[in-house]
Structure 1
Amino acid sequence: MSRHQNLLLLQGPNGPFFKLLADRLREFGASVTKINFNGGDSFFYRDSSAIRYRDSFEAWPAFLRLLIEERNIRAIVLFGQCRPMHQIALSLARETGVSVAVFEEGYVRPWWITMEIGGVNHASQLASVVPATLPIYPQVQRPRSFRWGFTRMAWYSFLYFAAGLFAHRLYPRYEHHKPFGSTEMFRWLRSAYRKHLYRSTEREIIASLLDTYGPDFFFVPLQISTDSQITHASNWKDNDAFIKATIRSFAAHACESDLLVFKHHPLERGHADYATAINASAEHCGVAGRVLYIHDGHVPSLLKRSKGVVTINSTVGLQALYHGVPVCVTGSAFYARPGIVEDVGMDDFWQEHVEPNRQYFTRFYRYMMHTTQINASFYVTSSLRAPRREFGPGVLMRFAGAGAAMLLFGSGEAPSFVEKSVAWLTYALHAL
């Protein structure tokens, strides 16, 4: 990216990744401009050079166009291509010939991140390749692993929403692409509680599914209800609609000995629960005893035991193909390529699931890994992993001080008792 010399960073993943990226790019001689849109952005990108965008969404296109011209921006870097601000940036970049580097969570997880030019997921260049014509790339090397990635991601998200909430008067016109209020912080706390709860309550169910002599089942990985992959790359309104249609199709066309297993997305554990919708649909379709709903479990192991996977366009489908498991894609997915994913509808899939062509998938997988995947973590870097003192008293004071300053001096109005309590709880929990 540094070859572009003049780069513009928009919103990145929750946490310090974009700040570290900017520092690294400057080491290579690039000029980097960063725009912060809310208190969460400013909290993790604390730099006097950063631009605070406080104007309206309607004024954004003109502001961005002028900035690109004034600073001779040659590349835009962002995370989350479907965010409204980013959609405008992508459109303007195409119009002005500016390159766009899009980051996303790894197509292969947990030790990879995705970076593509122009777009990711349904907008990826992978969505147009023909596996049979791809060159044969060498085997992918064993990746470096990163500990505590999910834990850090959860804490960074918690802090991001907390900072955004308490500094919202500094960015009065900002509208986040996801819920952005005090309830969001409590949902992350509830997520941590539920994680430990489900680990114990679902142990026997998962053990039976993983048993070699256990029941035959189809695996359905649910996606985050607000996922852009649902809203921008499928015909489904939401998860509820997908769940009802899947159960209805399963009841009418699957073998009577088969089970249907829905798995909740780990990042939505504290935000939603589909037990009522699943149980009601299963009861209505007469398959109440054949439909299960789990929140935990080792996904690769569950995939290997399953007869097939039904998904909207989750990257779990890619994992399934890696293990030779048939996949039914009901939305738009970059990996649904000829010879890899059969073009059959959900009703036929229960009886006509075909294993992916191993040769074609190997070509596609290695091409994808070499051209779009980076062995790294947004949330764990060498500068963040090593010093144990990061979690000492100094950090407590730093986070508490930043929170107090944002809350007490940045808003222009006196915060409520609840806001004060949540603020101090947030920063104290993180430091501890």
Structure 2
Amino acid sequence: MANYLFLRGNRNKHFFSDVASELEEKGHTCYQLKFELGELLIPSKIKTFFVPRHITKATYPISDSELLNMKIYNITYKREMKHTDVSRKELTTYKRYMHYIDRFIEEYEIDTICMFNGYHWIDQVATYLAREKGLKTIFFEQGYFRPYTLTCDPEGINNDASLPRDKAFYQDVQVNKQRFDHHLSSPENDELRHVEGEDLTQVAFVKLVSMLGSVMRIHPNFYAHISWYEAVKYFLFKQAFKRKAVDQDPLPKEYLFIPFQVARDTQILYNSSIKSMEALVDLVYRHVQTVNEKHNRNIHLVFKEHPEDMPRNSYKKLKKRYEDDPNVLFFQKQNVNELIKKSLGVITINSTVGIEALAEFKPVITLGEAFYNIDGVVHHCSDLETLDGKIEAALYEPLNKTLITKFLYYLRFHYQLEGNLISRNARTAQNVAAHLDQVRSDLAYLRSEQNESSWSHTCKI
């Protein structure tokens, strides 16, 4: 039996507690560490510790430079978005929490650490400790076939995922056509067909209490990118956006669809050389012009803003710069699936929209690092100055539908788990716990057969 440690959690604060409860019914032991005052509003079914109560002046022996070299979102955000650096006081806070987590791991004989996303500083220092001690890690995130799947990976999310990148691997995948046709974008489990949406008011209230906790110095401010002003602005925008009408501009006859991404997201900060949506628009516009002139075409560009980014970036100057060009359209609220279906193809940095486009058998060009940068599946543009050539290839070369189908099948039915990470439901917790339990059983069997297959390989089969 295993000893699991659950750190933090996503916006569905019940998720880790529910999964842990299911694991304990299977005989495992689970612990949960909570770090924010707002988390105490959510009852837990397992043994839980509120870490700020236990923090002392003792620090883990790690250098500042080692911390600064980690993929810690707070550090990267301050450096790249705020153009400031992290203070020595903040780094000392990291070391103090790291010391507590290290001692906790030893005292409770933890062998598996579960985290959400993985780029928060709590997650990064815990991952460091796990690697030092030879422990297993599990990273959770929303899935690629939303809202019915979630990611559960031993190595990380997005470009850090354990998914194979070898074309030959996917060529050997066997596809159940009926399963692919009926359940690629719908759940096989009926209990997940009518999951409730996110309660944004509850999420906002929990976050408000946590922000009060940092003001009262009960715990540090865990998020560099959230101020009181930004939090209120975000909440009001999300409420208003629900009532916003769909954009009515007609779609062009021929266009490429380019989805915006959250400018301060980890996908941009860690997996892209394009650091702003303005740079994305300018790049694509320049190269599509080249293609239009070369082939005497009139391909338009349709851009859609990301709803999570709109409260923070208006892009008014960008839109004004292109307002007199009839070949460029900007949407805020529009059906993404319709934009994909009617397009000639999709150009994305590394968005999940790329997966949605592949599911519609549309050519996809990626400009950043992505786990689906697989030869024959997408056209990956590693040298941005060759984008016009990639656009030509996407427009004029036939799609490898067989390989795309095999890739999507493996991603959906072998790699992803059925479940909804945003809304609370029992089936999600049961599916995750059953998967983790099965992986551990498979690993134990392989070891008994003296087959030293890695946890990474076992977890994704």
- Which interval holds the TM-score relative to the shorter structure? 0.7 to 0.9
Residue 193 (structure 1) aligns with: 240
Q: 1:67 to 1:134 in 2, by over 3 A?
A: farther
Q: 1:355 to 1:76 in 2, by over 3 A?
A: farther
Listed one character per residue, the Cα deviations across residues 355-397 of structure 1 (whole Å, up to 9, x for unaligned) are 5411111211111123321221123334699xxxxxxxxxxxx
Q: Secondary structure at the match of 1:220?
A: strand
Residue 8 (structure 2) aligns with: 11
Shift of 1:133: 4.1
Residue 312 (structure 1) aligns with: 349
- Tell me the TM-score normalised to structure 1 length: 0.78
* Residue pair 2:350, 2:368 contacting (<8 A) in 1 also: yes
**Mapped partners of 2:151, 2:46: distance in 1:** 29
Residue 262 (structure 1) aligns with: 303
Q: 1:218 aligns with which of 256, 259, 282?
A: 256
**Mapped partners of 2:123, 2:378: distance in 1:** 30
**Mapped partners of 1:170, 1:196: distance in 2:** 38
Q: Secondary structure at the match of 1:58?
A: helix
Residue 408 (structure 1) aligns with: none
Shift of 1:12: 1.3
Q: Secondary structure at the match of 1:175?
A: coil
* Residue pair 1:264, 1:294 contacting (<8 A) in 2 also: yes
Listed one character per residue, the Cα deviations across residues 371-427 of structure 1 (whole Å, up to 9, x for unaligned) are 321221123334699xxxxxxxxxxxxxxxxxxxxxxxxxxxxxxxxxxxxxxxxxx
What CA RMSD, in Å, does the superposition of the two structures yield over aligned residues?
2.6
Q: 1:375 to 1:383 in 2, by over 3 A?
A: closer
* Residue pair 2:7, 2:33 contacting (<8 A) in 1 also: yes
Corresponding position: 1:181 with 2:228: yes
Corresponding position: 1:244 with 2:242: no
Residue 406 (structure 1) aligns with: none
Q: Which amino acid aligns with 2:285?
A: I
**Mapped partners of 2:281, 2:218: distance in 1:** 38
**Mapped partners of 2:427, 2:411: distance in 1:** 28
Shift of 1:229: 0.8
* Residue pair 1:9, 1:77 contacting (<8 A) in 2 also: yes
Q: 1:12 to 1:361 in 2, by over 3 A?
A: same
Q: 2:373 aligns with which of 336, 344, 351?
A: 336
Q: Which amino acid aligns with 1:367?
A: Y
Q: 1:111 to 1:245 in 2, by over 3 A?
A: same
* Residue pair 1:75, 1:99 contacting (<8 A) in 2 also: yes
Residue 404 (structure 2) aligns with: 361
Listed one character per residue, the Cα deviations across residues 97-151 of structure 1 (whole Å, up to 9, x for unaligned) are 1111111111111221111122121011215343444331433445144446444
* Residue pair 1:14, 1:160 contacting (<8 A) in 2 also: no
Q: 1:43 to 1:252 in 2, by over 3 A?
A: farther
**Mapped partners of 1:50, 1:116: distance in 2:** 24
Task: Count residues with an aligned counterpart.
Answer: 368
* Residue pair 1:10, 1:76 contacting (<8 A) in 2 also: yes
Shift of 1:184: 0.8
Residue 206 (structure 2) aligns with: 160
* Residue pair 1:162, 1:182 contacting (<8 A) in 2 also: no
Q: Which moved more, 1:327-336 or 1:27-36?
A: 27-36
Q: 2:423 aligns with which of 358, 369, 380?
A: 380
Q: 1:103 to 1:356 in 2, by over 3 A?
A: farther
**Mapped partners of 1:295, 1:74: distance in 2:** 45
Residue 292 (structure 1) aligns with: 329
The share of aligned pairs that are identical, in percent, is: 24
* Residue pair 1:101, 1:115 contacting (<8 A) in 2 also: yes
Q: 1:273 aligns with which of 309, 314, 319?
A: 314
Shift of 1:73: 0.6
**Mapped partners of 1:279, 1:251: distance in 2:** 19
**Mapped partners of 2:288, 2:316: distance in 1:** 17
Corresponding position: 1:352 with 2:352: no
Q: Which sections of structure 1, spanning at least 5 residues, go unmatched?
A: 386-432
Q: 1:134 aligns with which of 172, 175, 188?
A: 172
**Mapped partners of 2:311, 2:194: distance in 1:** 22
Q: Which moved more, 1:49-58 or 1:219-228?
A: 49-58
**Mapped partners of 2:18, 2:273: distance in 1:** 38
- Tell me the TM-score normalised to structure 2 length: 0.73
Q: 1:275 to 1:258 in 2, by over 3 A?
A: farther
Q: Which sections of structure 2, spanning at least 5 residues, go unmatched?
A: 56-92, 429-461
Q: 1:92 aligns with which of 129, 136, 150?
A: 129
**Mapped partners of 1:48, 1:22: distance in 2:** 7
Q: Secondary structure at the match of 1:231?
A: helix
Residue 36 (structure 2) aligns with: 38
Q: 1:172 aligns with which of 219, 243, 253?
A: 219
Q: Which amino acid aligns with 1:362?
A: T
User: Which runs of structure 1 show a deviation greater than 6 angstroms over 4 or more consecutive aligned residues?
Assistant: none
* Residue pair 1:38, 1:167 contacting (<8 A) in 2 also: yes
Residue 435 (structure 2) aligns with: none
Q: 1:11 to 1:248 in 2, by over 3 A?
A: farther
Shift of 1:158: 1.7
Listed one character per residue, the Cα deviations across residues 38-90 of structure 1 (whole Å, up to 9, x for unaligned) are 12333335579422233511323332222211111111111111222212222
Q: 1:32-71 counterparts in 2 under 5 A?
A: 32-45=30-43, 49-54=47-52, 55=55, 56-71=93-108
